[in-house]
A = this chain, B = another copy of it.
Amino acid sequence: MSKQRIYLHDVAPRDGFQNEKVFIETQDKISIINELSECGFAKIEATSFTSPKAIPALRDAEQVMHEIKRKPGVEYTVLIPNVRGAERALSCGIDEANLVMSVSETHNRANLRMTREKSAQGLGQIIEALKGAPVAVNVSLSTVFGCPMEGDIASSEVFRLIGHFADQGITRISLCDTTGMAYPSQVREICKRARAEFPDITFTLHFHNTRGLAQANVLAAIDTGIDRFDASLGGLGGCPYAPGASGNACTEEVVHMLELEGFDTGIDLDRLLAVSARLPDLVQHDIPSQILKAGHRLTTHPAPEGIADMA
């Protein structure tokens, strides 16, 4: 029996680098993306076409997209906040536009500085602007599993928004656990319902490890038939509400687990770890990745001398 394929998207070049205090040099970004391309990802979130003033960390979006080496079979997705960003991105030849809004009204206002209604209108304009262009469109819904300001989120709001975008012809939706509030039984419930009510939509799950539950949540989602996940090289990508806590699900930890569990991620873990090993120098701090520190489970160590002769 062939192994079940799980598709992984690395979001470190956008979601990770955007959150770093130091500016990651453009050539380093390009080199990291190029190396990730060789690891076997289905998709890489390469950058964001937000205003360079709003997010200076990713002010080099055009140069990154023009200079990376595209690997056939890998989709290069970028975050797009508005029609202006869509136009910039189109001129660079992207594969997918990733649009974002929150399920939580408070989080949407805090994070995107507008009401959900305005966000939905704005996303509608981007979707309209991209019609006819040779790019896929993905909508990422933030705070699906809870809001750091509101607390629990009514799942009716999650499904109302999925329905809203499905009506606009969207077939790709990411359900995002923006600040690590998801837990396995909740994940199972929401994913099961999402797949049952929207069989034509390809869902991606995006977990954070803020409270140590990212891995368990990935397995819970797979139980319901979900087969696409975002994760971030090294576990980069912070949570502004939990200083020092882990950020995104760590790609190499997810790959390590899924391969052990008998899934085919298509990813070369050793090659991936070599890319992750470059991060501490680039971001100038220790990174959350456990696998980078400990190695994979069969990393063996020499036995102490002299123990062979024990009687």
Contact = CB atoms under 8 A, between A and B. Distances in A.
Interface residues of A, number: 61
A307 B110 contact: yes
A119 to B, nearest CB: 11
Contacts of A186: 260
Nearest to A147: B300
Contact of A148 (B106, B150, B239, B300): B300
Interface stretch (A132-140, A198-206, A290-298): A290-298
Nearest to A246: B290
Contacts of A39: none
A214 to B, nearest CB: 8
A113 B110 CA distance: 59
A262 interface: yes
A254 to B, nearest CB: 9
Contact of A212 (B149, B245, B257, B310): B257
12 contacts: A110-B303, A113-B307, A183-B260, A183-B297, A184-B257, A185-B261, A212-B290, A219-B219, A242-B294, A242-B295, A245-B293, A246-B290
Given A180-B294, A212-B250, A216-B257, 18 more contacts: A109-B310, A110-B307, A118-B310, A149-B300, A149-B301, A149-B302, A180-B297, A183-B257, A183-B297, A210-B290, A211-B296, A213-B215, A213-B257, A216-B219, A242-B293, A242-B295, A245-B294, A246-B290
